[in-house]
Amino acid sequence: MFCYQCEETINGTGCTVNGACGKKGEVAVLQDRLIYALKGYAFCNSRGRLKGCADPAFGPFVMEALFSTLTNVNFDAAYFEKMITETLKRRDTVRNAVHNGAPPGPGAPNVAVITYEELMTKTADDIGVLATADTDVRSLRETLVCGLKGLAAYGMHVFILNAEDDDATDAVYQFIEKGLVSTIDDSPLEKPGTTQMVALLLECGGFGVKIMSMLDAANTKAYGTPSPTAVKTGVGKNPGILISGHDLKDLEMLLEQTKGTGVDVYTHGEMLPAHAYPAFRAHAHLIGNYGNAWHHQKTEFESFNGPILMTTNCLVPPKETYADRLYTTNMVGYSDDKIRVKHIVSGTGGAKDFTDIIKAAKICLPPYELENGTVMTGFAHAATLSVADKIIEAVKSGHIKKFVVMAGCDGRHKERSYYTEFAQALPKDTVILTAGCAKYRYNKLDLGEIGSTGGIPRVLDAGQCNDCYSLVVIALELAKAFGVNSVNDLPIVYNIAWYEQKATLVFLALLHLGIQNIVIGPVLPACLSPAVLDVLVKTFNVSKNTDVETDIMRLITL
């Protein structure tokens, strides 16, 4: 196997035997085969589009398949075998339609004709990341594939909420198709700096902005406008179900089905911002948020005592002590030699039956209390901009000197303590704007409020990682209010933490918006070759974080 799609990749270069995330080599090569099959499906569908016979279900299927290959989503070999079979079946249907049932000509690329049996003999060297020999072309292709995975993940949430806007959604699907096809185009490519591939990366970022805005609108339409909310971190006396991941529709269905059962519901990890939506707050049995970011789950799932529903990433291979209380849904899955995690399937119209989980919860002990306080969330764009006057006044009067965007992901490497220390070291006239699970490194610190104005907390959590969109809206509105031409002229700096491929998409989205001087860490993505990185440095002045003192000096003091 060879996988270097996430921050944890071994030695900063690539996982080659098993993944640091727990993904087995066998599953990694199945994921490579699925991606290869998807490229063939995209190729044939692009031909079908020209002839008016494209597969109308291409978009949702490809999004689900791409999402399943994101870090910490699916560890189940059988799932990938099924998806490869289905992808090839769909590819053949559309290819046959293109050729009116005739066999493809001798010039057809291998991705368009390879059979299941042939594909299952292919190794990572044949069809995976390293199959592209040129390191810069490989870098551009794999960065794009990571961006497409992020796009697919957010697109899937829009799809699940039935919030697709036909034209916009179709443009996203066509871009995913174009992006996948671009990775099998072996015609001579120009070198980075002027290549079409760099343009494609920025185009991917543009679609990232679009899909995050659609998801923002979909969430607000379905669940109301988020507002600042103090979420309890303690526990009640009833047994509970813990829901993790990003899927708000699953939370909606779970809350409905647990009503009046005596079973409480708690959020975990990236589900924390759900508490800020009026539709969820209305449920008295949604008690609070249990625990911290995803990588603490081995201890937190154990002490929770009740069932856990994992709706998206980030799943860590479970311990046997709680594996029988763990359930997956959507494209999440886990199985190994000893454990097969139970999976909840979708029925008609996406309906799910959580009866088994609720039944299991009833015989569990209440959660063991880990802490007992509150944590704030809900500073999405509408809430933050409703106090724009106060914020603008605080900037003008010098009470706020800088906004520091510290969005992104948390992770388990010990260097991540940098983010806690950086937040603590920031001067008191700075405000942290955050989204994503990166917030857990500082959202429980008492960093206080802004000087004399009061009422503006120094950490404003906009929500899940896709709610980075809110941070963009806030920046654009502040630019208007201050009458500057570009968000780069605002007193906003970026110190982003990344872990997986949704963060790659968010990063590309920021570049698409022309944001300069972004600092990322705790390491640079391994997929960036020196030449591609050089383009990003020269065009956007992107850099890696260093140490707290140096970064405070260069981002805040100077």
Contact partners, residue 27, CB within 8 Å, separation at least 6 = 74, 75, 76, 77, 80
Q: Are 320 and 339 in contact (CB under 8 A)?
A: yes
Orientation of helix 135-160 relative to helix 501-512, angle to 10°: 100
Residue whose CB is less far from ligand FSO, 72 or 257:
72
Per rule CB under 6 A, is residue 500 in the interface with ligand FSO?
Answer: yes
Q: State the minimum distance, in angstroms, from the CB of residue 416 to ligand FSO.
A: 12
Residue whose CB is less far from ligand FSO, 44 or 331:
331
Distance between CA atoms of residues 146 and 505, nearest Å: 7
Per rule CB under 6 A, is residue 436 in the interface with ligand FSO?
Answer: yes
Per rule CB under 6 A, is residue 502 in the interface with ligand FSO?
Answer: yes
The binder of ligand SF4 chosen from 23, 246, 275, 439 (CB under 6 A): 23
- The stretch among 37-45, 280-288, 397-405, 496-504 that binds ligand FSO (CB under 6 A) is 496-504
Residue whose CB is less far from ligand SF4, 21 or 286:
21
Residue whose CB is less far from ligand SF4, 23 or 285:
23
Is 166 exposed, middle or buried, given 0-12, 13-18 or 19+ CB atoms closer than 10 A? Answer: exposed
Strand partners, 328: 310, 343
Q: Give me the 336-365 binding string for ligand FSO, x by CB under 6 A, dash otherwise.
A: ------------------------------
- The stretch among 7-15, 114-122, 495-503, 507-515 that binds ligand FSO (CB under 6 A) is 495-503
User: Which partner from the list ligand FSO, ligand SF4, none does 313 bind, CB cut-off 5 to 8 Å by kind?
Assistant: ligand FSO
Per rule CB under 6 A, is residue 4 in the interface with ligand SF4?
Answer: yes
Residue whose CB is less far from ligand SF4, 226 or 525:
525
Per rule CB under 6 A, is residue 5 in the interface with ligand SF4?
Answer: yes
Per rule CB under 6 A, is residue 274 in the interface with ligand FSO?
Answer: no
Residue whose CB is less far from ligand FSO, 154 or 403:
154
- The stretch among 16-24, 241-249, 292-300, 342-350 that binds ligand SF4 (CB under 6 A) is 16-24
3-state secondary structure 270-301: HHHHHHHCHHHHCCCCEEEECCCCHHHHHHHH
Is 451 exposed, middle or buried, given 0-12, 13-18 or 19+ CB atoms closer than 10 A? Answer: middle
Distance between CA atoms of residues 334 and 130, nearest Å: 26
User: Among all residues, whose Cβ is closest to ligand SF4?
Assistant: 19
| Residues near ligand FSO (CB under 6 A), total | 15
User: Which residue is listed with tokens 């004399």?
Assistant: 452
Q: Per-residue b/e over 81-94, b at no fewer than 16 CB within 10 Å?
A: eebbebbbebbbeb
Task: Look at residue 326 and give its three-state secondary structure.
Answer: strand
The binder of ligand SF4 chosen from 11, 12, 13, 15 (CB under 6 A): 15
Q: Are 307 and 280 in contact (CB under 8 A)?
A: no
Contact partners, residue 167, CB within 8 Å, separation at least 6 = none
Distance between CA atoms of residues 159 and 426, nearest Å: 40
Per rule CB under 6 A, is residue 181 in the interface with ligand SF4?
Answer: no
Q: State the minimum distance, in angstroms, from the CB of residue 502 to ligand SF4.
A: 13
Q: Phi first, then psi: give them for residue 430, nearest 5 degrees.
A: -120, 150
Per rule CB under 6 A, is residue 9 in the interface with ligand SF4?
Answer: yes
Residue whose CB is less far from ligand FSO, 169 or 434:
434
Task: With CA atoms as reference, report the closest residue to 209 among 476, 388, 517.
Answer: 476
Per rule CB under 6 A, is residue 8 in the interface with ligand SF4?
Answer: yes
Region class of 473: left (phi > 0), else alpha (psi between -120 and 50), else beta: alpha
User: Which residue is listed with tokens 């190729």?
Assistant: 43
User: Which residue is listed with tokens 């099959």?
Assistant: 37
The binder of ligand FSO chosen from 155, 205, 239, 269 (CB under 6 A): 269
The binder of ligand FSO chosen from 160, 314, 316, 460 (CB under 6 A): 314
Per rule CB under 6 A, is residue 461 in the interface with ligand FSO?
Answer: no
Residue whose CB is less far from ligand SF4, 8 or 177:
8
Contact partners, residue 521, CB within 8 Å, separation at least 6 = 415, 418, 495, 496, 497, 498, 544, 545
User: Which partner from the list ligand FSO, ligand SF4, none does 314 bind, CB cut-off 5 to 8 Å by kind?
Assistant: ligand FSO
- The stretch among 8-16, 379-387, 425-433, 494-502 that binds ligand FSO (CB under 6 A) is 494-502
Per rule CB under 6 A, is residue 465 in the interface with ligand FSO?
Answer: yes
DSSP state, residue 457: B
Query: What token pair was written down for 442?
Result: 């500082």
Long-range CB contacts for residues 532-541, cutoff 8 Å, separation at least 24:
532/136, 532/139, 532/140, 532/143, 532/192, 532/198, 534/192, 534/193, 535/192, 535/193, 535/198, 536/511, 538/193, 540/511, 540/515, 540/516, 541/516, 541/517
The binder of ligand SF4 chosen from 45, 68, 71, 267 (CB under 6 A): 71
| Residues near ligand SF4 (CB under 6 A), total | 13
Per rule CB under 6 A, is residue 525 in the interface with ligand SF4?
Answer: no
Per rule CB under 6 A, is residue 313 in the interface with ligand SF4?
Answer: no
The binder of ligand SF4 chosen from 11, 12, 13, 19 (CB under 6 A): 19
- The stretch among 4-12, 270-278, 387-395, 414-422 that binds ligand SF4 (CB under 6 A) is 4-12
Contact partners, residue 80, CB within 8 Å, separation at least 6 = 27, 30, 31, 33, 34, 68, 74
- Which residues make up the interface to ligand FSO (CB under 6 A)? 246, 269-270, 294, 313-314, 409, 436-437, 464-465, 499-500, 502-503
- Which residues make up the interface to ligand SF4 (CB under 6 A)? 3-6, 8-9, 15, 19-21, 23, 28, 71
